[in-house]
């Protein structure tokens, strides 16, 4: 593709904006359009469950770029107008307000949307957290409530529980796993997370599925678990994961299977790429299809997509990485640790709440997790790279 052809990015957030910026940085001079469903200029999501929810940051502080940088990008931002259809052969996108946008290349960067509980009723006081508007609505709800139940003991649920607890609410964390992130990080790290939450006064109601949300006069009053236990609540947050925002691609002919399916170059079809949380691509060194929902991936994958749009032939093979902040714990997770992997504490001591754990499967390093030791964890990331270079990762 030439440097002057037109590019349309659908999804004006971390991955979409990073793709646009990388295109310009690498000499793209053609027309550049970013189409976004939300009215807001691009903002960052990690602070939504932390500083913004806590009220420590005003929403403007979560903006990804100052206005001047967005204007220097020389791109057209079409905001508040969700795409509803893609004609893949013509690379034409239709929007809710009946706009038709065409380009030589389309980049799908529409992220994910929160999964809902099958038992959800039309009750007020039940929240999800994905967007800035969600965060502001939840923050307002927290300020008027005393008892919060968070349904979902994954990263997002645990972060929301920690933030709400710090605000002084009576918080219960519910979900089927035995400890927060147990299925992802295994007993050592998730056990430490469980201790951390308990010590700060979060009540853990784990090991059970939510059977029902209860309500009175249209407002949520609690959560009933499958063991019959009732958890009273003024407010409920449902944080049970997310699904790729691909409904608008239903008739596009693209392969949709837990995301937009792409090759190792992040290409979904001729002239169509996917990037960020929505993209499921072939990871050439892990030798598997992968979709990552984390912030670093959004930026890193965008560099590869932009390079390939401009004619490079790069595959995308990152070491997956995410972080989470809960109370005073800053946790870094590199690679793909498994809950059943062997674990060795290689730095520090869990008793001191400063440690690094190495995860191994059949003698292969699969992951490194740092707990309040970011530098040491980052240095050990190379152990994952070396293991991958030495041999393919054994399957679980």
**Which spans of this chain sit near ligand FAD (rule: CB under 6 A)?**
10-16, 35-38, 45-46, 48-49, 82-83, 109-112, 129-130, 156, 245, 248, 276-277, 293-296, 298, 322-324
**How long is the chain?**
396
String of DSSP letters for 157-222? HHHHHHHHHHTT-EEEEEESSSSTTHHHHHHHHHHHHHHHHHHTTPEEEES--EEEEEEETTEEEE
Q: Which is nearer to ligand FAD, 276 or 335 (CB)?
A: 276
The kind and range of the H/E element at 84 are: strand 83-87
Minimum CB separation from ligand FAD for residue 158, in Å? 11
* Residue 294 Cβ vs ligand FAD, minimum distance, rounded to whole Å: 3
Q: How far is CA 11 from each of CA 19, 40, 100, 274, rounded to the nearest angstrom?
A: 11, 12, 15, 10
Pick 129 or 388: Cβ nearer ligand FAD: 129
Q: How far is the CB of 99 from ligand FAD (least distance, A)?
A: 11
CA 60/CA 54 separation, integer angstroms: 14
Q: Which two structure tokens, joined as six digits, stand for 229? A: 């236990």
Minimum separation from the CB atom of position 297 to ligand FAD (A): 6
Residue-wise burial string across 27-64, b where 16 or more C-beta atoms lie within 10 A, e elsewhere: ebebebbbbbbbebbbbbbbbbbbbbbbeeeebeebbb
Specify the 3-state DSSP secondary structure of 325.
strand
Of the pair 18, 225, the CB lying nearest ligand FAD is at 18
Instruction: Report the residue number, 20 or 231, with the smaller CB distance to ligand FAD.
Output: 20
Q: Which residue is nearest to ligand FAD (CB)?
A: 276
Q: Which is nearer to ligand FAD, 34 or 373 (CB)?
A: 34
Residue 79 Cβ vs ligand FAD, minimum distance, rounded to whole Å: 9
Query: Minimum distance between the CB of residue 322 and ligand FAD, rounded to whole angstroms?
Result: 4
The residue (of 156 and 268) whose beta carbon lies closer to ligand FAD is: 156
Nearest residue (CB) to ligand FAD, 12 versus 225: 12
Q: How far is the CB of 116 from ligand FAD (least distance, A)?
A: 15
Instruction: Find, among 192, 144, 176, the residue nearest to 324 by Cα.
Output: 192
Instruction: Mention every residue, 6+ apart, whose C-beta is less than 8 A from residue 91.
Output: 8, 102, 103, 104, 105, 106, 271, 272
């Amino acid at each position: 593709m030439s440097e002057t052809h037109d590019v349309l990015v659908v999804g004006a957030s971390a991955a979409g904006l990073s793709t646009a910026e990388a295109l310009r940085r690498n000499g793209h001079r053609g027309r550049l359009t970013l189409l976004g469903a939300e009215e807001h200029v691009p903002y960052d999501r990690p602070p939504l469950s932390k500083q913004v929810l806590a009220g420590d940051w005003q929403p403007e502080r979560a903006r990804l770029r100052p206005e001047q940088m967005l204007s220097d990008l020389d791109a057209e931002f079409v905001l508040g107008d969700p795409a509803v259809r893609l004609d893949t052969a013509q690379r034409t996108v239709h929007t809710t307000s009946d706009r038709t946008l065409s380009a030589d290349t389309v980049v799908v960067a529409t992220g994910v949307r929160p999964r809902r509980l099958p038992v959800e009723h039309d009750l007020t006081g039940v929240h999800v957290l994905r967007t800035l508007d969600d965060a502001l609505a939840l923050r307002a709800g927290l300020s008027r409530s005393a008892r919060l139940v968070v349904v979902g003991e994954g990263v997002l649920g645990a972060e929301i529980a920690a933030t709400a607890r710090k605000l002084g609410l009576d918080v219960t964390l519910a979900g089927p796993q035995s400890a927060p992130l147990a299925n992802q990080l295994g007993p050592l790290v998730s056990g430490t997370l469980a201790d951390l939450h308990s010590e700060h006064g979060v009540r853990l109601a784990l090991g059970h599925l939510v059977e029902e949300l209860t309500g009175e006069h249209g407002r949520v009053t609690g959560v009933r678990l499958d063991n019959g236990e009732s958890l009273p609540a003024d407010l409920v947050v449902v944080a049970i994961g997310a699904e790729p925002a691909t409904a608008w691609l239903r008739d596009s002919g693209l392969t949709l299977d837990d995301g937009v399916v792409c090759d190792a170059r992040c290409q979904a079809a001729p002239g169509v790429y996917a990037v960020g949380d929505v993209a499921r691509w072939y990871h050439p060194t892990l030798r598997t299809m992968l979709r990552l929902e984390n912030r670093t991936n959004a930026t890193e994958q965008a560099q590869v997509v932009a390079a390939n749009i401009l004619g490079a032939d790069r595959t995308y093979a990152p070491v997956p990485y995410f972080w989470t902040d809960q109370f005073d714990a800053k946790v870094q997770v590199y690679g793909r640790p498994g809950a059943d992997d062997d674990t060795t504490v290689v730095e520090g001591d869990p008793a001191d709440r400063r440690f690094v754990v190495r995860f191994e499967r059949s003698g292969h390093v699969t992951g490194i997790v740092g707990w309040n030791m970011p530098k040491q964890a980052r240095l050990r990331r190379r152990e994952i790279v070396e293991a991958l270079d030495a041999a393919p990762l054994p399957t679980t």
